[in-house]
Structure 1
Amino acid sequence: MAVSEIHEQAAPAVGIDALLEEVRSGYERIEPGDAYEAARTGEALLVDIRYAALRERDGLIPGALVVERNELEWRLDPFGSHRLPEATSHDLRVVVICNEGYASSLAAESLHRLGLHRATDLIGGFQAWRAAGLPVSP
């Protein structure tokens, strides 16, 4: 295949802001207080994808699973050979949490592609969680 043919088949270029808007239009995002309540009642699984330095600096959300972003799909795919015990079905409500709510949107969209149709992300990420005065452990 010629290089020119590859370029013709590529998706049109889009900026990250437009991509985030498109991705986020595909599901309903969740506010920190609602995510806290959903996790507290067992209706949602909180998944922290922040990298280690941020977790060490800012702390952890008690009860949230820590899954590195580069492992997220493998750990949450209910059909996957490397899935976590919590990844029991495609009906699982997963709330992905990054630092400020950007990377988590792209991660939630990726989980949707795996069939986790209830996946969402936390508006404002960990920083919004902490600003809302919700529990954080060192």
Structure 2
Amino acid sequence: MAHSAADLVAGANVLVPPLALDAARELLGAASVRFVDIREVREWERTGTIPGAYRASRGMLEFWVDPASPYYRPSLDDGRRLVLYCASAWRSALAAATLFQMGLTDVTHIDGGFTAWRSAGYPVERIGH
């Protein structure tokens, strides 16, 4: 293997540095920011999500932000800063770097992901079944 997953994540973090956990918490509720939970539906149901976060599983994210895609979601392209997160900041690092490469310059991801968020005692919203 020429590059490990850890190598790819490290490179993504150079391209789009993660947002410190406390800085992310300060942005919660800001009108200019959209938190985006890129974990899978089973993760949302099992552990909850950051209150108000838009849920966009990692597998569809690029298609949902691309206006040329038949899966385009305008709510991810409304001018707000996108703050992505996954469980531990590996998937979100790769996703943030990909969106940046697609031309979205106001994108970042939460250092430590949802696991760090929840461990810090920050607000969590339960998802109904």
TM-score by length of 1: 0.81
- Structure 2 unaligned segments of length 5 or more: list them: none
What is the distance in 1 between the residues matched to 2:68 and 2:82?
16
What is the distance in 1 between the residues matched to 2:42 and 2:76?
26
Alignment partner, residue 50 of structure 1: 39
Alignment partner, residue 131 of structure 1: 119
Total equivalences in the alignment: 126
CA shift for structure 1 position 102? 0.6
Counterpart amino acid of 1:101? A
Distance change (3 Å), C-alpha of 1:92 and 1:80: farther
* Cα contact 1:61–1:137 (8 A) shared by 2: yes
1:1-138 equivalences under 5 Å are 13-88=2-77, 92-138=80-126
What is the distance in 1 between the residues matched to 2:19 and 2:112?
9
Counterpart amino acid of 1:111? L
What is the distance in 2 between the residues matched to 1:76 and 1:94?
11
Identical pairs, percent: 33
What is the distance in 2 between the residues matched to 1:37 and 1:83?
29
CA shift for structure 1 position 80? 4.1
* Cα contact 1:78–1:87 (8 A) shared by 2: no
* Cα contact 2:16–2:93 (8 A) shared by 1: no
- Rg larger in 1 or in 2? 1
- Structure 1 unaligned segments of length 5 or more: list them: 1-11
TM-score by length of 2: 0.86
Counterpart amino acid of 2:64? R
